[in-house]
């Protein structure tokens, strides 16, 4: 998979997050996805069913969330996307009490090996 192909998948993924469209988010992964969410336990999250549960909880903990890209690094079989998440934290996003506080929070996202992206 080329960098352009990965970029297109990630853009679809982040657009789906912005819309809070869980089905569209999950459509960017294969069934056997292993997803490492920085700052969250348990890690890694394995399989689209478990990731769906994560996103339902995570997105409900954020109000008016916006993802601002910073940089993307590529390896032979992975990519790391660094973004800033802006919004208001309710519940426990990133496993910390939100108390309605504003974010920004740096959010490095480890993108799994290419076969796990669709």
Is the whole model's pTM more than 0.75, yes or no? yes
Spatial separation of the C-alpha atoms in residues 25 and 110, rounded to whole Å: 15
Total count of domains within the chain: 1
The domain in which residue 101 lies consists of 3-116
User: What's the CATH number where 15 sits?
Assistant: 3.10.450.50
Are the beta carbons of 76 and 51 closer than 8 angstroms? no
CA distances from 17 to 2, 76, 89, 90 (A): 23, 26, 15, 17
Instruction: Name 19's Cβ contacts closer than 8 Å, sequence gap at least 6.
Output: none
pLDDT at 112: 53
So what's the pLDDT on residue 24?
Answer: 96
pLDDT in tens, 62-118: 887 778 888 888 887 777 888 887 888 888 877 778 888 887 655 555 555 545 555
- 52, 27 contact by CB (below 8 A): no
């Amino acid at each position: 998979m080329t960098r352009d192909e990965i970029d297109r998948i990630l853009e679809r993924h982040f657009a789906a997050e912005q819309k809070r469209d869980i089905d569209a988010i999950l459509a960017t992964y294969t069934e056997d996805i292993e997803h490492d969410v920085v700052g969250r336990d348990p890690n890694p999250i394995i399989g689209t069913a478990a990731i769906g549960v994560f996103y339902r909880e995570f997105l409900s903990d954020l109000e008016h969330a916006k993802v601002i890209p910073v940089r993307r690094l590529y390896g032979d079989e992975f990519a790391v996307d660094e973004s800033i998440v802006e919004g208001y934290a309710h519940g426990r996003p990133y496993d910390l009490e939100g108390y309605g506080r504003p974010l920004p929070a740096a959010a490095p996202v480890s993108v799994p090996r290419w076969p796990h992206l669709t």
